[in-house]
Structures are given as structure tokens and as C-alpha cells.
Amino acid sequence: MTDDVRFEVQGAIGCITLDRQRALNSLTLEMIRAMQVQLDAWAEDPNIGAVLIEGAGEKSFCAGGDVVSVRRSRLEEGETGKPTKLMLDFFGEEYRLNRSIADYPKPYIALLDGVTMGGGVGISVHGSFRIATERTLFAMPETGIGLFPDVGGGWFLPRCPGELGTYLALTGAPVKAADCLYIEAATHFVPSDRLQALRAELLSLDLKQDAAGRISVLLSEHSVSGGDATLSEHRSIIDSAFAHDRIEDILGALRAAGGSFCDETAAMLEHRSPTSLKVTLEMVRRGARCASLAEDLAMEFTMVQSFMIAGDFFEGVRALLVDKDRAPKWSPPTLDAVTPEAVAAYFSPAGKIGL
């Protein structure tokens, strides 16, 4: 269906290789559709014992979704006051793929060797095994482009230890392997120079019985310590400041605490979309009460339809990914201008389609 993702069977494992290196292996709609079709087929194939997904090249596992194309669809179709067909198809099918991975009946192994952000988190964090390396750079940076940490972020992030998920959701701060293990985004750490040996042994495994158990044993044999988690050093202030239910109160707590970490964190928040910040915080709180990933993804699909007719997403993508001037003009430009009623509207299903 597309040259940007490759599928092959090696031994008892179905292998997926994301190969869009010019865009750090970011996901297009065609890639999402091809993956869904292949995963569905392998789920029914008795000769396939597990699935392995990785990114081509040494820079990236998957840097996210192809939001530039999503933005372009609006420019090409004009301001219609509703999401374009590409927008609905892209996010709807991406979220269904995320759910399929979470519910997959066979072990799903992701090699997070390199940049793993946004959509890349969605096609890895919900699977059985996630292997980080020293090159892993993990983030949910959507508030910086006027969106929110979707692809199941409303399910995964509130379930990180303490308020670490709230911190990561709002700031979009990138973290490395040790922190991925700390927040359980990764299950194992394997140095990149050992990946080929690990991969070869995975492909030679007999997976006819207890596939998950045999894979788990092999991964444990290859994994080593990922080192000390940076987030653990700041856990106390993160848990304290990000426990608040208003962005203004979070910023106030950071400023009151002072110090370089708090100052840098406050500065990150001040550069994010005010609308994205407030809606994301509400999503994290609501997501903590969701009974399942499916419930959360349905909520996110309702939310994203509002984002696709608001202005901040298109401005954020323009400023960071198209023109790259890094000077987005958010609307509204301040936190106090984003009312509770405006935030609530993002979660209202009125006039929207379901997932």
C-alpha cells in the first residue's frame, strides 16, 4: 500500500519497519492503514507468534504523525468550520490502530531506538514490550503545536507515577531511556550496539508455546540498567506543583518554589498554547477516571475534532514545522482568556462523530 512501511516474516515473527527516514519515520495515513491491515492478518495467522516493530535508520523510531499533511488538507479545502475528511480519517484510524495494538492477541515488541514522539508513542506504549536504547528520546510535545497529547495519552499519562504524566503532558519535555523506564514507557533497556544480536535471537525463538514468556526471558537476558532517572530528582516538586487543577496554580507553585528546574519548567509552559494547556490538563484528569483505553480514545476523538476547527493547531504546525520561525501567535494568547466553558466545549460530543 505504501513504500514507507515494510512488512516481512522472519521465523515466527512478523516484522514491521517504518521507513520514512526523510521525516524521521513519521506516520502517514497510508502507513497507518497498511499497518492495520497487516496486524489484522498476522493476528489470525497461526504461524506468527509475535510482532516486532522498528524504525529504519539510526535517528528515529517514529517522530509522530504527519501533521503537516493534516494541516495542508485544511489549506487545500478552505475554512469549512468542520474537520476535513483527511483529518477525520487520519485521527480516527490512528486511534483505532492504537487500540488494536493494546488488544493485540500476540506479543508486540517495539524497538525504541531514536526519536519516539507523539504518534510513535501511540504505536509502542500500548504494546507488550518496549525496548529503549541510549539513543531513545521520548516526548509528547503536542501542546507546543496547539494540539494535545493524544494517541492514548489520556490513558497512559495519568497512570505514570505521581504527577509525572501531567508534567510530561503539559510541558512536552523530552526524556531519555532511564526516565522511560521510570515512567514505564519502556520495559527494558538494551544498548543500541546489542540490538542486532537481540533481534537475531528473537527471530530464532520457538514461539509455538508461551510466546510472551519466552520473549520476556530473552529480553531480560539482554537488558541492562538504564542508569538513574532524571525525573526522580525532581519528583517532589513535580508531584507538588502539578497536582493543581489550574494551569495558573501550577505556574504559581513553580514560581514560588524557584530554582533552575522550576524556572525552566515555567518558561516551557509559558510558550505553549494556552488553549492546549488547559484542555490537556482537563484531559489528564478525565483520563485518570476512564475505565479503559477505548473509553479514553473515544474521548480524544471527540476532542481532536474541536482542535481541527480551532486555530492554534494550524498556527503551531506552521510555526514549528513549516515556516520554522518558532514564533506561534496563539489565539487566545493568554491563559485567563481560555474560559472553563471554552475548555468544556472540547469534550462535548455535540455535532461530532464517534470513533
What pLDDT digit, counting tens, does each position of 323-343 carry?
999 999 999 999 999 999 999
Q: Which of 55, 64, 118, 119 is catalytic?
A: 119
Q: Which of 142, 163, 312, 315 is catalytic?
A: 142
CA 158 to centroid of chain Cα atoms? 13
Q: What is the per-residue pLDDT for 77?
A: 85
Does the annotation count 201 as an active-site position? no
State how far the Cα of 133 lies from the Cα of 247, in Å rounded to an integer: 33
Q: Which of 55, 65, 114, 154 is catalytic?
A: 65
Does the annotation count 336 as an active-site position? no
Does the annotation count 65 as an active-site position? yes
Calculate mean pLDDT across residues 84-104. Answer: 97
Q: Which of 4, 66, 150, 282 is catalytic?
A: 150
Residue with cell 490513558: 155
Residue of 157, 207, 152 whose CA lies nearest to 12: 207
> 298: which 3 cell numbers?
473515544
* pLDDT(271) > 90: yes
> Could you confirm whether domain 5-345 is CATH 3.55.40.20?
no
> 127: which 3 cell numbers?
504494546
**What does the pLDDT look like over 26-85, one tens digit per residue?**
999 999 999 999 999 999 999 999 999 999 999 999 999 999 999 999 888 877 788 999
Does the annotation count 119 as an active-site position? yes
Considering all CA atoms of the chain, what is the largest pairwise distance in Å, rounded to the nearest integer?
59
Give 133's contacts (C-beta < 8 A, 6+ positions apart). 111, 112, 113, 114, 177, 189, 190, 191, 192, 195
State how far the Cα of 11 lies from the Cα of 203, in Å rounded to an integer: 5
Residue of 201, 202, 166, 206 whose CA lies nearest to 287: 166
Q: What percent of the chain has pLDDT over 90?
A: 96
